[in-house]
Structure 1
Amino acid sequence: ALLGREIFALLGWRRLMRVAEPLHARGALERVSGLLQRGGWRAVFTARLIPGLRVHTTQVAGVSQVPRGTYLAGLLPATVVYIAAFVGLGAAVGRPVLGLIHEAEHQVLLAVGLVMAVVVIFLLTRAPVRRTLASLEAAGWSGPLKFSLDSVGVVLILACLGLNFAGHAIAVTFHLPLFLDSIGTVLAGVTAGPWVGGSVGFISNLVSSNTIDPIAAPYGIVSFAVGFAAGLSRYLNWHKRASGWIALWLVCAAIAAVVSTPINFLQSGGRSGVGSGDAIYATLNSAHLPRILAAFIGEGVVDFPDKLITIVAALLIAQGLPARQITAEPVGLDLGEAFTFVIRSPGWWRKLLAAAICLLFIWLIVPYLLLVGYIIEIARHVRAGGRQLPPWVHRGRNIRDGFKVALVILIWTIPSALLSIPAAIVGAAVSEGSTKALGGSIAVAAEFLAAVGSVWGVVVLLIEAAILSQYLDRGFWAALSVPAIIRRLRVNVGLSIVVGVLVVVLSSIGVVGLAALVVGVLVTYPYASFIGSYLVGQYARLTDRTGDPSRQSQALRV
């Protein structure tokens, strides 16, 4: 330290400033030098005790010509304290720390190897990915946020949902080392495009979570990603050649394994829920493999054979389907505009703040109705061709709209509540030890009714855009008309499914944000609600006048 001080004293302040001024560091160096000059040996003593500043203290003391005696007076006691402190720490915790270091050596090496493998994979796949994106664009894909939806048949969508549900039910019932929940998802993607495929996968997980697999809902993002990838493969014509089948299998399996692994950690500590995969995960984990890598391998052991069966089955079915007849013109949606129209509106932050205030006082009922009414006002404004947030001026009408819409949604959800009553009664009886009096068949029937009620609740969420569109078009009673809503849904089934899923996802994002209170109230929930109302307005505009085919065709040209 003394030698370093002398070397930097020879360098001198002027020479240092010649280098520091082009780097705009003169001011910082002058402040540090001033601190040492004013603080004397105490400043040297303090700075020499702080890791990271020890060497720089010597350097600055030299160039700023801190007297040798002053520097030495601070250096010696600091050195004694520093050495004594670390010797004491070494004696106290040295052995445990060394044990941790030896134990972590293996993990660190594996982690470094994993990072290097990821880098190598990225470098090797960068060029093929670029070529694939170029091929997608050449085939007509306009990006993930802009899409065109052909009208697809209701039977096809229901068949895809049925395939997913039946396959997963078989896997769960017979404890197969597979998931079998994506055949319909891939089929929908290949036949109807990425957004429909992803939406079918997401809906399937919602249905499964309310019936046969309570933990399926968080994995909806996995199913969406698989369906989206399958839909993109349609642009590349992978379904028409054997190499494409293999590529789609590898892509879907890799996506499922990569996306599922972090969800597995959040849900069950890294386990996939399938016996074979969990056994491999436990074995690798006990061998001190990094947990994330062990969990990924355990998930991949299940996903790769599962997706092989899925791809083969889905593509064989797709080849057997007759050529699909387009019954309506494609509908285009721009999600980028939906997500940015809020901040492009004049005074958007004031309107967002007003919504947040309503949410803060939601327990007073009237602010809640006002907020719901304003959300309907946004949808009405977009339906009429608006592209910005409307002003908060029709408060009376907003409150009336909020009350009517809340009542409509309540009426639609009544069947779900009624169907859950038998299960609640059985649950109360079980808690009181009356299971024998009820009988097993009654309990099974009650559980079945509760499952039907849960599925009905999911259906209401998915058709909420159609319900609100009917309200915008014809008012309260039209929003309760089942035939009218079915006709609107059938105008473009793909559009209905995608918008329904997006509205559910946006609602979920708002609720998750609400859990963080300030973030949710002030940002997440109002913003997500505004985006959802924009999509509802666009959906209403695209599906209006369902009773007049000529007007319907005109409405679809947007």
Structure 2
Amino acid sequence: MNPISWVQALEGPALVAVICGLMFIEETGVPLPFAPGDLILALGGIAVAGGRVNPVLLVAAVAVSITVGALIGRAAAALLGWERLMRIAEPLRARGPLERAAGMLQRGGWRAVFTARLIPGLRVYTTQVAGVSRMPMRTFVGGLLPANAVYIGAFVGLGAAFGRPILALIHEAEHQLLITILLIAVVVAVFLLTRAPARRTLASLQAAGWTGPLKFSLDSVGVVLILACLGLNFAGHAIAVTFGLPLFLDSIGTVLAGVVAGPWVGGSVGFVSNLVSSNTIDPIAAPYGIVSFAVGFAAGLSRYLNWQKRASGWVALWLVCFAISAIVSTPLNFLSGGGKSGVGLGDSVYAALSNAHLPRTVAAFIGEAAVDLPDKLITVMVALLIAQGLPQRRTTTAPADLDLGEAFTFVIRSDRWVRKLLAGAVCLLFIWLVVPFLLLVGYIVEIARRVRSGARELPPWDHPWRNIKDGFKVLAALVIWTIPSGLLSIPAAIVDAAVSEGSRQALGGSVSAAAAIVAAVGSVWGLMVVLLEPAIISQYMDRGFLGALNVAAVIRRVRVNLALSIVVGALVVVLSTIGL
């Protein structure tokens, strides 16, 4: 039982005796963190207001208890001495308050005792400093008695006037503090328990050939595999949304791509799948691309550990995917839905736990975990069963090696890189003037040309007219590529232009549905153009403007190493979003 609640339930002489005993113990120098004196006196005030105790008896008894306790505490501190007192205070983190009280008592007599005894956090320490400093008894008592009168009157009066609402706030704070302490303890325990296994896992990954998250090699994968993985994600999530299942079912293809093709392909497939869903069946799916990327990346790492070949590995991958999804999704749920996951089961759990006064963060995490636990079990089982049935891949092209660390750091190794970046920042700042935007796009094309030719630094801004022309041609090519997306959105725009509800009904539900489907196809096409952007720009650098419009040539360029195209396309989307 909560000690405070137990004290609050008492009345009459029993309550007076308990309050006096607790105050006496605290004054002698024994810490009582579960029953601080301020709160105990406020409880006495609440009892006075409720007629459960005689106010004169309470005040007189408490005054005697505090005074006697302080005198005994002073005598005990005098026997200990400063050095031994400090040795006891160190583990209790009381050295600071003791030194502060000592500084105050050095500047005056009984007035300093009176003032220090009324400062929150220094009352008991003042008594101890008075003892070790051998302060005269008359001086100490001269400040102790008036301070006790003010202290008792203040907190008993406060409890009598405002005690019940204040106590409710204190109880709520204690509850939240307890939950916070438990969470911290769980985090620390998990860290300590997983530190050694994490080190062993990292060593196993490195021994298996993993070179780190920023440096990797991408083997070419089949178009059918990538499309199948995207289709599995889309179809699974569509089924869950359509039938209201208490699952997500949006990561089967992500895990499959990771296990078959590696971390970056798995993560990129998951990220792209969320972008497709956000343009079709789930408008809020895009932010959760972070979760899908992390799940796919983790599944790709399991490939190095051969988890897909043993039962314990299946269980480990399930638990890892579950933990990633629950932990990363919880803050995103607060950003997009006030803590709700968007799935009926998870939202019901969240509501029930919130009504039970559990902290919202914990309630949201448990609600998300209630969905993710079975969802990731189904996801991992289905994905690994499919992976087991796939034929052994044969690599027909040389793998593509990427070093993202080099891609980011070569900038700062360039000559006069600050000036060059500032020039780009100015163009970005005045992007609305169009010409600076064309100049920036053309400069990016120039960087790509230089890097492909072997240069390892940013080029100078010494060909502005050529950059503007390149920027115009590249943007024109991309606009032409996106024309189908705009055309496909026209039917939906016509339907939305129907002003009255009657005209919408006159169009017919099937017409509206068809227009929505066509618009979704247009949105997906626009997304595909963004993912094809690196291949389009590469085709432009080789074959010029008309070459960038050659659909067959762009597709061939993508198919040379589809994994590379997917990863680079996903990086283009992410970095463009961050930059803007």
Scaled by the length of structure 2, the TM-score of the pair is 0.74
Query: Retained in 2: the 8 A contact 1:164–1:183?
Result: yes
1:478 has 2:515 as partner: no
Give the secondary-structure state (helix, strand or coil) at the position aligned to 1:181.
coil
Alignment of 1:386 onto 2:445: no
Moved more, 129-138 or 292-301: 292-301
Flag the 1:389–1:95 CA change in 2: closer, same or farther, 3 A.
Answer: farther
Q: What one-letter code is carried by the residue in structure 1 that aligns with 2:468?
A: I
Please tell me the residue identity of whatever aligns with 2:299.
A
Q: Give structure 1 regions of 4+ aligned residues with deviation exceeding 4 angstroms.
A: 46-57, 78-95
Larger mean CA deviation between 252-261 and 47-56 belongs to 47-56
1:325-348: per-residue Cα shift (whole Å, max 9, x none)? 101111110111122222222222
| 2:180 matches 1:111 | yes
- How far residue 97 of structure 1 moved from its aligned partner, in angstroms, is 3.2
Match of 1:96 among 165, 168, 173: 165
Structure 1 counterpart of 2:337: 268
Change (3 A) 1:91 1:444: same
Q: How far off its partner does 1:433 sit?
A: 3.7
SS at match of 1:332: strand
Distance 1:99-1:490 versus aligned 2 partners, 3 A rule? same
Whether the aligned pair in 2 keeps the contact of 1:183 and 1:314 (CA below 8 Å) is yes
Output the amino acid matched with 1:377: E
Once the 2 structures are TM-superposed, how far is the Cα of residue 84 of structure 1 from its aligned partner? 11
Which residue is 2:521 aligned to? 452
Q: How big is each residue's C-alpha offset from its partner over 1:335-380, in whole Å with a ceiling of 9 and x where there is no partner?
A: 1112222222222222222122222222222112112211222222
The answer on 1:354 being equivalent to 2:423 is yes
In 2 relative to 1, CA 56–357 (structure 1 residues): closer, same or farther, beyond 3 Å?
Answer: farther
Residues of 1 paired with 2:156 and 2:423: CA distance? Answer: 61
- Residues 306-341 of structure 1 deviation map (CA, whole Å, 9 limit, x = unaligned): 111111111111111111110111111011112222
Of 472, 481, 487 in structure 2, the residue corresponding to residue 403 of structure 1 is: 472
Q: Write the distance in 2 (CA, Å) between the matches of 1:54 and 1:455.
A: 69
Which of the numbers 397, 418, 433 marks the counterpart of 1:364? Answer: 433
Deviation at 1:96, TM superposition (A): 3.3
Instruction: Give identity over the alignment, percent.
Output: 77
What aligned pairs does 1:505-544 form with structure 2 within 5 A after superposition?
A: 505-511=574-580
CA–CA distance in 1 between the matches of 2:567 and 2:542?
A: 21
Task: Provide the residue aligned with 1:167 in structure 2.
Answer: 236
User: What do the CA deviations read for 1:212-243 (whole angstroms, capped 9, x no partner)?
Assistant: 11111111111111111111011000101111
- What does 1:286-297 align with in structure 2 at a 5 Å threshold? 286-297=355-366
Cα distance in 1, alignment partners of residues 476 and 117 from structure 2: 71
Shift of 1:55: 12
Shift of 1:474: 1.6
For 2:489, what is the secondary structure of its paired residue?
helix
Structure 1 position 141 matched with structure 2 position 199: no
- Would the aligned equivalents of 1:463 and 1:496 in 2 still touch at CA under 8 Å? yes
1:216-273: CA deviation from partner (whole Å, max 9, x where unpaired): 1111111111111111011000101111111111111111111111111111111111
**Shift of residue 437, structure 1, vs aligned partner:** 2.2
Per mean C-alpha deviation after superposition, the further-off stretch among 278-287 and 145-154 is 278-287
Q: Please tell me whether residue 464 in structure 1 is matched to residue 533 in structure 2.
A: yes
Distance verdict in 2 for CA 1:101–1:446, change over 3 Å = same
The correspondence for 2:313, drawn from 240, 244, 255, is 244
Question: Tell me, what secondary structure is at the counterpart of 1:374?
Answer: helix
1:302 aligns with 2:302: no
Q: Distance in 1 between matches of 2:430 and 2:182?
A: 53
CA 1:80–1:426: 2 relative to 1, 3 Å: farther
Corresponding residue for residue 502 of structure 1: 571
Residue in 2 that maps onto 1:327: 396
Which of 504, 512, 519 is the aligned partner of 1:443?
A: 512
Q: For 2:437, give the aligned amino acid.
A: Y
For structure 2, the residue ranges without an aligned partner over 5 or more in a row are 1-114, 127-146
Q: Distance in 2 between matches of 1:230 and 1:452?
A: 29
* Aligned counterparts of 1:339 and 1:87: Cα–Cα separation in 2: 65
Post-superposition shift, 1:108? 1.7
Q: Deviations over 1:4-48 (max 9, x none)?
A: xxxxxxxxxxxxxxxxxxxxxxxxxxxxxxxxxxxxxxxxxx999
- Does structure 2 conserve the Cα–Cα contact (< 8 Å) formed by 1:203 and 1:501? yes
* 1:31-42 alignment runs, 5 A limit: none
Deviations 1:364-405 (A, max 9, x none): 221121122112222222121122211111111111111111
Give the partner amino acid of 1:139: A
Structure 2 counterpart SS, 1:475: helix
The structure that has the greater radius of gyration is 2
Pair 237,87 (structure 1): closer, same or farther in 2 beyond 3 Å: same
Letter in 2 for 1:288: H
User: 1:80-133 CA distances to partner (integer Å, 9 max, x unpaired)?
Assistant: 999999999888866533321112222221221111011111101110110000
C-alpha spacing 1:120/1:414, structure 2 compared with 1 (3 Å): same
Secondary structure of residue in 1 paired with 2:537: helix
Instruction: Choose the corresponding residue for 2:497, options 423, 428, 439.
Output: 428
Contact 1:355–1:371 (CA under 8 A) maintained in structure 2: yes
Residue 328 of structure 2 aligns with which residue?
259
Change (3 A) 1:373 1:56: farther
RMSD between aligned residues: 4.1
Alignment CA distance shift 1:408-1:83 (3 Å): farther
Cα distance change on mapping 1:319 and 1:48 into 2, 3 Å: same
Does 2:256 correspond to 1:206? no
Structure 2 counterpart of 1:26? none
Q: Could you tell me which residue of structure 2 aligns to residue 132 of structure 1? A: 201
Question: Equivalents in 2 of 1:92, 1:379: separation in Å?
Answer: 74
Cα shift readout 1:130-186 (whole Å, capped 9, x = no counterpart): 000000000000011111101111111011111111111111111111111111111
Counterpart of 1:282 in structure 2: which amino acid? A
SS state at 1:333 partner = strand
Equivalents in 2 of 1:335, 1:95: separation in Å?
A: 60
Does the CA-based 8 Å contact 1:164-1:182 persist in structure 2? yes
Corresponding residue for 1:25? none
User: Which residue type is aligned with residue 180 of structure 2?
Assistant: A
Count of aligned pairs: 495
SS at match of 1:195: helix
TM-score of the two chains, using structure 1 as the length reference: 0.77
Contact 1:107/1:288 (<8 A) preserved: no
SS class of match (2:455): coil
Secondary structure of the residue that 2:497 maps to in structure 1?
helix
Give the 3 Å change call, closer, same or farther, for CA 55–301 of structure 1 in structure 2: closer
